[in-house]
Amino acid sequence: MPILNKVEVLVGDITQLDVAVIVNAANSQLAGGGGVDGAIHEAAGYRQLQEACAVFGGCPTGDVRLTPSFNLPSKAIIHAVGPIWRGGEQGEPDTLRSCYRKAMAVAAKEGFESIAFSAISCGVYGYPHELAVVIAVNEVVCCLAQDSTVKKVIFCCFGEEMADLYRQRLKNATV
Ligand code: AR6
């Protein structure tokens, strides 16, 4: 199957998706919060998910941790800690790239065939959307080319504006 056929853009609530694993935009304390993290905690079951996260004692920026997803339709959650945007000269692109690469690596290692990403760092962490989307698409396409375990990647957006950016970028993607 051509690689780009494995990638889909969806507008909706990531907590509702029936995929093997969803990717949360977490903080380095894995302490829960607002945005997509808050929605995931609420839908998964706040207390159970916090107990599962507490085992790790946090997670460095640019890295990921895997937990069960409790009450969600998905099997598991990958918590990715994206960078806070500080102008782009503080390693933010590499750190964001690392989130996508590590999430894809965990999915492949666990044998998850479908994965849905939230737009890591694109909310309160302030990453410029156009720049984040280029990184997300490039890194995911690169990972799909290297390992065939994952058969479906969904970029789950909370609005049409964000979804259009992904669609544009995918149109221009070269594999
Ligand atoms: N489904 C899909 N996407 C969503 C949902 C949802 N239910 N809710 C929000 N989004 P953000 P960050 C989108 O702020 O920038 C938290 O407090 C949202 O529109 O959730 O990485 C954490 O605890 C945006 O495009 O994550 C951290 O402290 C994207 O998800 C901090 O925010 C990410 O926005 C992380 O900030």
Q: What mean pLDDT value characterizes the chain?
A: 97
**How many CB atoms within 10 Å of residue 123?**
17
pLDDT digits (tens, 9 = 90+) for 125-171: 999 999 999 999 999 999 999 999 999 999 999 999 999 999 999 99
- Ligand 1 centroid–CA 1 distance in Å is 31
Domains and CATH numbers, the chain: 3-172 (3.40.220.10)
Which of 13, 18, 37, 164 is catalytic? The answer is 37
Rounded CA-CA distance 99/23 in Å is 10
Cα(34) to centroid(ligand 1), Å: 7
Region 80-102: what's the mean pLDDT?
A: 98
pLDDT digits (tens, 9 = 90+) for 9-21: 999 999 999 999 9
Which residues have C-beta atoms less than 6 Å from ligand 1? 13-15, 25-27, 33-37, 39, 82, 118-125, 156, 158, 162
Give the per-residue pLDDT at 172.
87
Query: Widest CA span of the chain, in angstroms?
Result: 43
Structure tokens at 137: 């698409």
d(C-alpha 152, C-alpha 144), whole Å: 9
